[in-house]
Structure 1
Amino acid sequence: MVAIGADREADGFEHAEAYGIPTFSVPFTSFSDRDAWGAELLSQVQQWGADLVVLSGFMRLLPPRFVAALSPNLINTHPAYLPEFPGAHGVRDALAAGASQTGASVIVVDNGVDSGPILAQERIPVLAGDTESALHDRIKVVERRLLVQSILDIANGTLDLTEKTPA
């Protein structure tokens, strides 16, 4: 079963609806604290019997209980060649550091910030005159390709979620 969830209304819900994919939203602002929100989010995810949870584009730290319940079958993408430039502003940070290259990564989510085992990653050059938006657009193409390939490899049993890919 496939379902799409978010912590707010999302543009992807319309796309999902067009393909008959169920959606759910668990707004963070509807709960008194992160743990209460995380408990409801976990309940919603578990309702679908998910074998794999993909957090691509999910920009909120999850409570440890949520991570513990789903890891290592909880993955995310990041717009940097981890462990370089973790956090919410990886693209901006790469540009600010004057990096000549950055990248895209797919990781298993742990309780740190972009610190879980790396499943796949690829370098992307920083071009002269790159803006944050232009660089991020190029990274997203690679991120999506790596994510799709990672999901296929997980489904086919050729990618172990417990082993880090050598850098």
Structure 2
Amino acid sequence: MKNIVILISGRGSNMQAIVSAAIPNVRIAAVLSNRADAAGLAWAAERGIATESLNHKDFDSRFAFDTAMMEKIDAYAPDLVVLAGFMRILTPQFCAHYEGRLINIHPSLLPSFTGLHTHERAIEAGCRVAGCSIHFVTAELDCGPIIAQGVVPVLDGDNADTLAARVLAVEHKLFPQAVADFAAGRLKIEGNRVINQQRNAAGDQNLLA
């Protein structure tokens, strides 16, 4: 059984997708947030999952907050830490502490459009497709080895909200599968590339919606 700790900052829709997937051999040990009013905390608590919050504004540095957050996370002995809409830039020390067991979902087809406002930027750039990427987290923002990507078309007349909704539906399918692949030991990092041993044998299974 793999212990998973999920970090959120808001409603945690991807966290909800992971929990609802009831992944075999996965135990959601806790859901943590940097905001006590994050709606996802109440959702998780209603389902009997341990929840905690730690306000980053109470700390005088990013390093101090990350250190305190690591103490809370480590109390649950996580095999994997999942960033599901955790809106904090992490320190190199945090990333190194969870190297190889820290994953994030980003709403673009990396390496394009790292950072914020991804959907607006994809539309402004004239992209015909957009999507999301799940990746291992490194100290360099949104640049870790990519686990999986999901692709959606950018339609004529799309705005950031309509495109975001289409991408989010793919995120909710892709993220639980990535957690399942990690828990089953199917993911292997080779340099800056992730090899999914079972899926590569069966052919590419990235999502096109």
Shared fold by TM > 0.5?
Answer: yes
The answer as to whether partners of 1:75 and 1:109 remain within 8 angstroms in 2 is yes
Partner of 2:200: none
**What secondary structure is seen at the aligned counterpart in 1 of 2:176?**
helix
1:136 maps to 2:157: no
The answer as to whether partners of 1:86 and 1:114 remain within 8 angstroms in 2 is yes
Partner of 1:40: 68
The answer as to whether partners of 2:84 and 2:104 remain within 8 angstroms in 1 is yes
1:27 maps to 2:48: no
**Structure 1 residues not aligned, in runs of 5+:** none
**What secondary structure is seen at the aligned counterpart in 2 of 1:77?**
strand
Give the whole-Å Cα distance in 1 for the aligned partners of 2:194 and 2:154.
23
The answer as to whether partners of 2:132 and 2:171 remain within 8 angstroms in 1 is yes
Which residue of 69, 91, 101 corresponds with 1:63?
A: 91
Give the whole-Å Cα distance in 1 for the aligned partners of 2:96 and 2:88.
16
Q: Could you say which structure has the greater relative contact order, defined with CA pairs below 8 angstroms and 6 or more residues apart?
A: 2
Partner of 1:121: 149
Cα offsets for 1:126-151 (capped at 9, x unmatched): 01111101110111111121110000
**What secondary structure is seen at the aligned counterpart in 1 of 2:88?**
coil
Deviation of 1:165 (Å): 4.3
Structure with the bigger percentage of strand = 2
**What secondary structure is seen at the aligned counterpart in 2 of 1:85?**
coil
Partner of 1:8: 35
**What secondary structure is seen at the aligned counterpart in 2 of 1:3?**
strand
Which residue of 18, 41, 49 corresponds with 2:46?
A: 18
**What secondary structure is seen at the aligned counterpart in 2 of 1:136?**
helix
Q: Could you list the runs of 4 or more consecutive aligned residues of structure 1 that deviate by over 3 angstroms after TM superposition? A: none
The answer as to whether partners of 1:55 and 1:76 remain within 8 angstroms in 2 is yes
Give the whole-Å Cα distance in 2 for the aligned partners of 1:72 and 1:7.
23
Map 1:147-166 → 2, pairs under 5 A: 147-160=175-188, 162-163=189-190, 164-165=193-194
**What secondary structure is seen at the aligned counterpart in 1 of 2:60?**
coil
TM-score, length-scaled by structure 1: 0.95
Give the whole-Å Cα distance in 2 for the aligned partners of 1:165 and 1:66.
21
Identity of aligned residues (%): 38
- Figure out how many residues of one structure are paired with residues of the other and give that number: 166
TM-score, length-scaled by structure 2: 0.76
The answer as to whether partners of 1:59 and 1:88 remain within 8 angstroms in 2 is no
Deviation of 1:124 (Å): 1.1
Give the whole-Å Cα distance in 1 for the aligned partners of 2:79 and 2:115.
26
- Give the CA RMSD over aligned residues: 1.4
